[in-house]
Chain A
C-alpha cells in the first residue's frame, strides 16, 4: 500500500535509546502508582503510552524526565540524550544534565502569565544563559514552526487554548531537543484543533528526527500518531500490552477514514479492554 514503509522499519532496527528496568513508584502517601515497568524506546521512534486515568502515565513520564525518583528500578539512557555524557541514570542530577536534550510538554500549557509569547518561549534559553542574539533567532524559528509568528507579543491570557498549547510546544522545541515527552498535551482541546496539532507533531517528529513519547488516553490519537502503543493498566500502574501500529508514515488526515486505521484502533481497544478486565 505504501511506497515507503522504510521509515517505520528503520526505527525497528534503530538501537534502543531508553531502557526502563523494573520501574516502580510508591508515593509518600502509600499510593502504588507504578510497579515493575519494563520497556525500551528506540531512537527516532514515536511511541504512545495509553491507559485509563490514574494508571500512572504522568508518573512514568516524570520518572523518565528525572522529575521524580523511582522507588525501585532504573531509567537508563543508552546514549547522551537523556543524562548527559555519562549516560547514567536519570535522577535529579540527570534532569539537570538533560537541559537542552530532553523536553517536556505538560498536560496544561504552564506558561508564565506575566510574560508574553516570545518571552515564554525564550525561557529555557534564558535559564541556560544563552546569549541574547542566538536565543532570539531560535525563538523566532520555534514560533514559526508552530505558526505563531504574529502572536509573539501577546500575553497568554489573550490566547485560545490551542494557541497556548502551541506556545508550550514551541517552548519545548526551542532548545532543539532530541527527545520529546508529551503528557496528554491535546486532551483539553477540541477535535478539530487536536487533529491539526497531531499533524503538526508528526511533521515536527519527521523533520527534526525526534524521539517522542506521547501520553494519551485516546485510542484514536495513539494509533494515528505512533508506531507502537504501550497499553497500561491501573492499580498498580503497569504496562500490560505492546501493540505495533504497522501503518506507514507519512500519515495524513485521510488515514482516519481508512479501514486499516479502524482495524488498528480495534486491536488497541481490545488490548485496552483486556487490560481493564
Chain B
C-alpha cells in the first residue's frame, strides 16, 4: 500500500522539473524586458525597432485583420503539408517496390528539392492561373522532399534478422512490406513530417511574397510586405510574431502526433526512468 506521501515523485525532482519548465520562460521575459529598456533608454524610433509593448498593442489593435491573413497562410500551409505527407509517403512506397523505380525517380525528387523556391515560384505563379493553387504548389514543393527521403530510408531500414525471420516463415513480399517495412518506416516518416511542417510554412510565405497577392485573399506574408512599404514596423513585427507562433504550433502538433503513434514502442517516445 502506498500512502499519499509516497505517491508520485520526490519533492526535489518536482522542483527540478518546475525549474526546467520555468527556465525558458524566465529567459524570454528577461530578453523582452532588456529589449524594452534598450528601446526606451536609447530612444530608438518605432519605425526602426519597436519595443515589445508597442508590438503587443499593435497586435491587439490589428489582431482581427492579421488573424484573417494568418488563416489564409495557414490553410495553404496545412493543406500543403497534408499533400506532402500523402504524396511523399506514396512516392517512397513506390520507390521501395523496385530499385529501377527508385533509380529513375529519386534524381528528379532531388532536383526539385535543390532548386530554390524563390527562383521557380514566379514561373509557377505565371503557369498556374489560380493563385491559391499556385501558392499551394509552391509550399508543397518544398515540403514533400523530407517526407520522401526519410520514408525511403525508413523502408530500407528493416532489421536484417527480422527480414530473415520473415523469409524463414515464407512471408510474401507484400507481408514483409506491410508487417515489417511500414512499421519500421513510421518513425522516419514522422521525423520527415516534422521538418516538412516548418518548410511548408516557409514555402507558403515565400510564395506569397513572390505572388504579392493583396485583397481579401491576402496572406500574412503580404501583410508583412505591405507593412514594410508603409513603414508600419510594429505591425510588421506583430505579423512576424504570429508567423512564429504558427510555426511553433505546427511543430508542437506534429510532435504530439508522433508521440501518440509511437509512445508504446519507439525509443523517441519513451519516458526516461530516473
A interface with B by C-beta (< 8 Å): 62, 65-67, 92, 95-99, 102-104, 106-108, 110, 112-114, 123-124, 126-128, 155-157, 175
**A65 touching B169 by the CB < 8 A rule?**
no
Please give, as numbers and ranges, the residues of chain B lying within 8 Å of A99 by CB-CB distance.
Answer: 168-170
A128 to chain B, nearest CB (A): 7
**A104 touching B168 by the CB < 8 A rule?**
yes
Please give, as numbers and ranges, the residues of chain B lying within 8 Å of A155 by CB-CB distance.
Answer: 264-265
Please give, as numbers and ranges, the residues of chain B lying within 8 Å of A113 by CB-CB distance.
Answer: 265-266
Please give, as numbers and ranges, the residues of chain A lying within 8 Å of B165 by CB-CB distance.
Answer: 104, 106, 110, 123
- Enumerate 7 A-B pairs (CB-CB under 8 Å) in ascending A order: A67-B167, A98-B170, A99-B169, A104-B168, A124-B169, A127-B166, A127-B170
Given contacts A108-B161, A110-B159, A110-B162, A67 and B265 within 8 Å (CB-CB) = no
**A65 touching B266 by the CB < 8 A rule?**
no
Please give, as numbers and ranges, the residues of chain B lying within 8 Å of A108 by CB-CB distance.
Answer: 161
Query: Quick one: which of A108, A113, A124 has the most chain B CB within 10 A?
Result: A113
A159 to chain B, nearest CB (A): 12
Beyond the given A112-B180, A123-B169, could you list 16 further A-B residue pairs with CB under 8 A, ordered by the A residue number? Answer: A65-B168, A66-B168, A95-B170, A97-B170, A104-B165, A110-B159, A110-B161, A113-B265, A113-B266, A114-B186, A114-B265, A123-B165, A123-B179, A124-B169, A128-B169, A156-B265
Please give, as numbers and ranges, the residues of chain A lying within 8 Å of B14 by CB-CB distance.
Answer: none
**B175 touching A127 by the CB < 8 A rule?**
yes
B42 to chain A, nearest CB (A): 56
- Per the bound structure, the CA–CA distance linking A67 and B163 in Å amounts to 10
Please give, as numbers and ranges, the residues of chain A lying within 8 Å of B186 by CB-CB distance.
Answer: 114
- Per the bound structure, the CA–CA distance linking A110 and B161 in Å amounts to 6
- Per the bound structure, the CA–CA distance linking A104 and B264 in Å amounts to 27
Closest to A157 in B: B265
Please give, as numbers and ranges, the residues of chain A lying within 8 Å of B175 by CB-CB distance.
Answer: 127
Please give, as numbers and ranges, the residues of chain A lying within 8 Å of B266 by CB-CB distance.
Answer: 113-114
Please give, as numbers and ranges, the residues of chain A lying within 8 Å of B161 by CB-CB distance.
Answer: 106-108, 110
**A67 touching B169 by the CB < 8 A rule?**
no
Query: Quick one: which of B167, B168, B171, B183 has the most chain A CB within 10 A?
Result: B168
List B108-164 residues whose CB lies under 8 Å from chain A. 159, 161-162, 164
Query: Quick one: which of B171, B175, B180, B183 has the most chain A CB within 10 A?
Result: B171
Contact residue among B159, B168, B180 (Cβ-Cβ distance under 8 Å from A98)? B168
- Per the bound structure, the CA–CA distance linking A109 and B100 in Å amounts to 34
B186 to chain A, nearest CB (A): 8
Ranked nearest first, the 5 interchain pairs of A and B with the lowest CB-CB distance are: A99-B170, A96-B170, A110-B161, A127-B169, A114-B265
Please give, as numbers and ranges, the residues of chain B lying within 8 Å of A112 by CB-CB distance.
Answer: 162, 180, 183
**B168 touching A67 by the CB < 8 A rule?**
yes
- Decide if B270 is an interface residue (CB 8 Å cutoff): yes
B21 to chain A, nearest CB (A): 27
**B168 touching A95 by the CB < 8 A rule?**
yes
Please give, as numbers and ranges, the residues of chain B lying within 8 Å of A103 by CB-CB distance.
Answer: 168
B265 to chain A, nearest CB (A): 5
- Per the bound structure, the CA–CA distance linking A157 and B171 in Å amounts to 25
Closest to B166 in A: A127
**A127 touching B171 by the CB < 8 A rule?**
yes
- Per the bound structure, the CA–CA distance linking A99 and B168 in Å amounts to 7
- Per the bound structure, the CA–CA distance linking A186 and B164 in Å amounts to 19
Please give, as numbers and ranges, the residues of chain B lying within 8 Å of A128 by CB-CB distance.
Answer: 169-170
- Per the bound structure, the CA–CA distance linking A126 and B171 in Å amounts to 9
